[in-house]
Structure 1
């Protein structure tokens, strides 16, 4: 495996009895890259991550981390990675601070000034016992321990579940800092706005199958542009124009919002011009637009 690849997943397949949880999953993660791994709950994200962590053995395919086999060399790999699951359970009688220190020691690390800065940034009371913590506070404990750990690969599986918006911003800032330092991050999430803000590349998984992967710029090139327009002449024929989707017309038929396929955008703008444009705004599609397009296509819709 190339030295420029931190994580390489090839042809990964996992079955539980007759149920195929993963089928031919493949993607790579490079140094300094934040890779978004997205899909709805039950799509196979956590099963893939457990395979990467060496917690479950694939039926076929290959997972390599730092050039090492994820199943047979898991102990060696774990010395260089930090992991936060979506729901953590800690020792109930330990305080949050004690838990953070214990997790750090288990990773061969020590409580540092950075740890204190993280406790302050996430506004965690480290003196309370774990049993009294909300889900959000348990997530903070896990995140503080992970961000305090000096690792080469950070894996987050739905990490902001239970966090309030301010703490989500703290999380996003810390991810940006890891990237600046050349660290690699695999972020599994179903919160599309979270992925869109932080990730360089995206892998979309559905029912155990990767249905798309690449940079957001590449994906947007393949998808639709959102348009809002107001014209002097009515837009009664708008829905009949090639490439136009999800059109919403105002009662007077002179204002509309719709999406248009990239290859048809020029023709649609030309058609609108003949209707005497009063105002026109276009916006690139969001990751959510892209995501919904794939799911609607799979369901036989637009």
Structure 2
């Protein structure tokens, strides 16, 4: 079952493009990464999915229901953390979270306490006394307190220190293991690489690649480093080779194609060291953007 499905989803702000012809599907139980630099269209996509802004054309469905026509229904089962959170400054954290819980049926007292303990959040403090990172923790607890079926995270780790980021990722994995689907927007590629099953890369408001993490790395180019005597750039300047450099008797380049071609080029040389490895997600990302 697809939890999220879009068809040519487009949003213009007047004549300015937000997103155009965005087509993505997110499967039930998936942790789906949505990556791109600031201004690429990540937040616009999420806000359109949530019905916070209306699309110019195309449509989106969540749980098989139209995000605009049935928005009030689908939002009951969604937990949302925006990239920036704003609250009533003079409220206590506990009062704010209880107010948020009142929109859902049931008693969420234990759930609020459990999540606050995991995130090391002091629920007795006033919002105005919290740092940016602690306000982000409030948003995390608020977004998860009702055990949503779909969790939508827009740049969720801003303001969190490294130890708290680890706590947060462990929490998200636990929610996923208990059945929640995760849609995770970020420009920090290491986060996506270690957390997500699949990733969509967005550039200038359009999706340029959708792939699972392992396949994206496997089917992409290889990073190659060669150390040897009297190496020359010229023999290695052939189709499939990019980012070719030679410095201190060390040849470095990216290659996509039949690795035997590289092997043939190396035969005339006395090789001291050879390293062939998969690129990081960040290197793949930069390759697509360049």
Contact 2:108 2:146 in 1 (8 A): no
Counterpart pick for 1:183 among 152, 169, 180: 180
User: Do 1:100 and 1:142's aligned partners in 2 also have CA atoms closer than 8 Å?
Assistant: no
User: Residue in 2 aligned with 1:135?
Assistant: 132
Given the alignment, which residue of 252, 255, 263 partners 1:257?
252
**In the alignment, which of 262, 267, 271 is matched to residue 277 of structure 1?**
271
Q: Structure 1 residue 240: deviation in Å?
A: 2.1
1:244 Cα shift? 2.4
- State the alpha-carbon separation in 2 of the partners of residues 88 and 14 from structure 1: 23
| Aligned counterpart for 2:10 among listed residues 9, 13, 33 | 13
Shift of 1:55: 1.2
Q: CA deviation at 1:237?
A: 3.2
Matches of residues 152-163 of structure 1 in structure 2 within 5 Å?
152-163=149-160
Contact 1:56–1:71 (CA under 8 A) maintained in structure 2: no
Name the CA distance, whole Å, in 2 between partners of 1:295 and 1:189.
16
Structure 2: gaps of 5 or more residues: none
Q: What residue number does 1:299 align with? A: none
Q: Where does the alignment leave 5 or more consecutive residues of structure 1 unmatched?
A: 297-302
1:1-302 matched pairs, under 5 angstroms? 4-237=1-234, 239-251=236-248, 253=249, 255-261=250-256, 263-296=257-290
For residue 48 of structure 2, give the secondary structure of its aligned residue in structure 1.
Answer: helix
Residue 2 of structure 2: SS of its match in structure 1?
Answer: coil
Q: What TM-score, normalized to structure 1?
A: 0.90
- With the length of structure 2 as denominator, give the TM-score of the two structures: 0.93
What is the total number of aligned residue pairs between the two structures?
290
For 1:91 and 1:170, the matched residues in 2 are separated by 26
Q: CA RMSD in A?
A: 1.8
List, as ranges, runs of 4+ consecutive aligned residues in structure 1 with deviation greater than 6 Å: none
Distance change in 2, residues 1:160/1:9 (3 Å): same
Deviation at 1:149, TM superposition (A): 2.2
1:110–1:271 distance in 2 versus 1, CA, 3 Å: farther
Quote how far apart the aligned CAs of 1:5 are. 0.9
